[in-house]
């Protein structure tokens, strides 16, 4: 009832004696606001699972999703942008086509009730497309509060194994090392690897600006993303002085492959998207080998492959004893973390950047598949199903509503009430519901005895009295009276 009461109490004409709560309930804006509020309240009884385990697809144990106060205040914007950020390319296309179909159906419905010109429809269509595009652009460019993962064990560390800075050719120009650190801190990461393309320039600057030990901000560690035939790999466990091929090609290090050990030296992380059936031989039998694989990649193409090939990724990890990790693949666009990797490393909070990098690499090399736990945002997963892809829009709405926390629900209801009130105020001020006031009382002039009546009252048709909302009946005409005079002159 909050949207209804808000419109009733603050509507500019709400105190008129002819306006009642019942009449407010009959307004379309208020009915829509009440429907939206009812849906938000009704979905609260369903159990929320905003974070799930990547392997079991069930709710995470010992972890929770933390939302700052600013996120709750702007919940309608933050939740929608988060939902859009976690979609694959195919889901983005399905959502766009759904919006186009609904928009066309709405305009067709209006055309049945009134005449619409094709020029007007073209303008409306262009405006709607511009508004749709603006939502995406704003979500990618405008900084906003972020959802962060929280763990209950202080010896658990949350890591992002794949991120970029403006040192990458495709990185956002103002996404500096400092901005990368701020983004990861807001998303709840304790450590993040800078894996720029073809260069360690960003990683060197990150290591130089790290604090002596963890002090509340993300520790940035060195890595590099390179191409190995048709695959992309991140090299972990290297120093900032590691020699990088300027063309971005990965070359296995010289050495005796028969003496390979998992206890020391750099290793590779297989990133997505990629061909899981065509791993280069050197990545499996070389000096530097694959020790981990991404089970979640934050780029739209990576999200699409992880949805389609999730089972194959897990099977490949079991077969090669690979650790499952996540990578935001963040290039500076958007403010949403799709997934987090958690490792158990006692005493990591007292380590500097070099020791922490070594501890993470050693844990993955020695514990292999058991080294990590991966947690994902619970988002619509189309997988390989065409039906699930077609139903992307309702799946997004359902997931968004079910996972809302109560402060966010309250914010949604408040924003709905504010929108309904603004719509009613705009409707009133545009003159759609004008109340016409009765004319002011005029003094009556008494004619002089024996003087003829004034000319302006001879043979004049009577006027109908104006009243508020038609509550006063009009004065009836009297045809048998030879002199017709105004209501004003009778006063």
Q: Using one digit for the tens of pLDDT, what is the confidence trace for 366-423?
A: 999 999 999 999 999 988 899 999 999 999 999 999 999 999 999 999 999 999 888 8
pLDDT at 86 over 70: yes
Q: CA–CA distance from 133 to each of 78, 146, 392 (Å)?
A: 17, 22, 18
Render pLDDT for 304-348 as a digit per residue (tens, 0 to 9). 999 999 999 999 999 999 999 999 999 999 999 999 999 999 999
Burial of 228 (0-12, 13-18, 19+ CB in 10 A): buried
CA atoms 123, 139, 310, 235: torsion sign: positive
Cα 5 to Cα 421: distance, rounded to the nearest angstrom: 10
Render pLDDT for 126-180 as a digit per residue (tens, 0 to 9). 999 999 999 999 999 999 999 999 999 999 999 999 999 999 999 999 999 999 9
End-to-end CA distance of the chain: 47
Whether residue 420 contacts residue 30, with contact meaning beta carbons closer than 8 Å, is answered with yes
User: Looking at 64-68, 248-252, 344-348, which range is the least confident one?
Assistant: 248-252
Cα 172 to Cα 109: distance, rounded to the nearest angstrom: 43
Highest mean pLDDT among 5-19, 133-147, 265-279, 444-458: 133-147
Whole-number pLDDT of residue 277: 87
Burial of 396 (0-12, 13-18, 19+ CB in 10 A): buried
Cα 486 to Cα 14: distance, rounded to the nearest angstrom: 33
Whole-number pLDDT of residue 491: 44
pLDDT at 21 over 60: no
232: CB partners within 8 A, 6+ apart: 225, 226, 271, 274
Whole-number pLDDT of residue 428: 73
Read off the pLDDT of each residue in 19-47 and give the average, rounded to a whole number: 79
Render pLDDT for 202-215 as a digit per residue (tens, 0 to 9). 999 999 999 999 99
H-run or E-run covering 129 = helix 118-141
Whether residue 305 contacts residue 273, with contact meaning beta carbons closer than 8 Å, is answered with yes
50: CB partners within 8 A, 6+ apart: 65, 147, 377, 378, 403
Model confidence band, residue 187 (pLDDT cutoffs 50, 70, 90): very high
Q: At what angle do helices 406-429 and 28-42 cross, to 10 degrees?
A: 180
Render pLDDT for 284-311 as a digit per residue (tens, 0 to 9). 888 888 999 999 999 999 999 999 999 9
Model confidence band, residue 258 (pLDDT cutoffs 50, 70, 90): low
Whole-number pLDDT of residue 26: 55
Burial of 394 (0-12, 13-18, 19+ CB in 10 A): exposed
Hey, which residues does 290 pair with through a beta bridge? 268
Whether residue 102 contacts residue 132, with contact meaning beta carbons closer than 8 Å, is answered with no
Whole-number pLDDT of residue 490: 43
Render pLDDT for 449-473 as a digit per residue (tens, 0 to 9). 666 665 555 454 454 444 444 444 5
Whole-number pLDDT of residue 178: 97
Can you give the pTM of this predicted structure? 0.81
Cα 330 to Cα 338: distance, rounded to the nearest angstrom: 10
Whole-number pLDDT of residue 464: 46
Render pLDDT for 95-139 as a digit per residue (tens, 0 to 9). 999 999 999 999 999 988 888 888 999 999 999 999 999 999 999
Cα 280 to Cα 254: distance, rounded to the nearest angstrom: 17
pLDDT at 7 over 90: no
Read off the pLDDT of each residue in 249-261 and give the average, rounded to a whole number: 68
Cα 52 to Cα 59: distance, rounded to the nearest angstrom: 4
Burial 302-316 (b: 16+ CB within 10 A, else e): bbbbbbbbbeebbeb
Q: CA–CA distance from 449 to each of 55, 317, 452, 455 (Å)?
A: 106, 114, 9, 16
195: CB partners within 8 A, 6+ apart: 161, 162, 163, 164, 203, 223, 224, 225, 234, 327
């Amino acid at each position: 009832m909050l949207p209804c009461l808000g419109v009733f109490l603050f509507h500019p004409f709400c105190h008129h004696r002819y306006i009642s709560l019942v009449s407010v309930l009959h307004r379309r804006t208020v009915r829509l606001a009440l429907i939206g509020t009812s849906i938000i309240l009704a979905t609260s009884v369903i159990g929320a699972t905003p974070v799930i385990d990547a392997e079991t697809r069930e709710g995470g144990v010992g972890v929770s999703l933390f939302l700052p106060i600013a996120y709750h205040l702007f919940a309608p914007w933050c939740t929608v942008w988060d939902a859009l950020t976690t979609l694959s390319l195919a889901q983005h296309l399905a959502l766009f086509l759904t919006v186009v179909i609904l928009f066309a159906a709405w305009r067709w419905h209006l055309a049945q009730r009134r005449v619409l010109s094709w020029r007007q429809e073209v303008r409306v269509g262009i405006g709607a497309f511009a508004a749709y595009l603006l939502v995406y652009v704003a979500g990618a460019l405008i900084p906003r509060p972020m959802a962060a993962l929280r763990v209950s064990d202080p010896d658990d560390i949350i890591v992002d194994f794949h991120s970029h800075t403006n040192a990458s050719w495709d990185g956002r120009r103002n996404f500096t090392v400092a901005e990368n650190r701020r983004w990861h801190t807001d998303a709840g990461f304790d450590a993040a690897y800078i894996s720029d393309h073809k260069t360690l320039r960003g990683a060197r600057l990150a290591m130089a600006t790290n604090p002596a030990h963890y002090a509340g901000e993300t520790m940035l560690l060195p890595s590099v993303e390179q191409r190995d035939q048709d695959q992309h790999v991140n090299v972990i466990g290297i120093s900032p002085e590691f020699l990088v091929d300027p063309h971005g090609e990965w070359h296995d290090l010289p050495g005796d492959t028969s003496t390979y050990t998992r206890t020391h030296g750099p290793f590779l992380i297989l990133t997505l998207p990629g061909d899981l059936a065509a791993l280069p031989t050197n990545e499996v039998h070389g000096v530097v080998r694959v020790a981990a694989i991404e089970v979640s990649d934050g780029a739209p193409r990576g999200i699409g492959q992880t949805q389609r090939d999730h089972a194959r990724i897990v099977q490949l990890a079991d077969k090669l004893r690979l650790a499952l990790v996540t990578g935001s693949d963040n290039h500076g666009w958007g403010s949403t973390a799709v997934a987090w990797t958690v490792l158990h490393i006692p005493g990591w909070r007292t380590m500097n950047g070099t020791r922490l990098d070594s501890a993470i690499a050693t844990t993955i090399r020695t514990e292999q598949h058991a080294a990590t736990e991966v947690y994902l945002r619970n988002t619509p997963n189309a997988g390989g199903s065409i039906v699930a892809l077609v139903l992307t829009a309702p799946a997004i709405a359902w997931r968004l509503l079910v996972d809302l926390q109560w402060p966010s629900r309250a914010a949604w209801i408040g924003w709905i009430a504010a929108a309904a009130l603004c719509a009613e105020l705009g409707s009133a001020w545009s003159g759609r519901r004008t109340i016409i006031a009765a004319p002011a009382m005029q003094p009556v002039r008494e004619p002089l005895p024996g003087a003829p009546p004034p000319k302006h009252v001879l043979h004049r048709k009577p006027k109908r009295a104006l009243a508020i909302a038609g509550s006063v009946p009009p004065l009836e005409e009297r045809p048998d009276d030879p002199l017709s005079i105004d209501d004003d002159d009778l006063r």
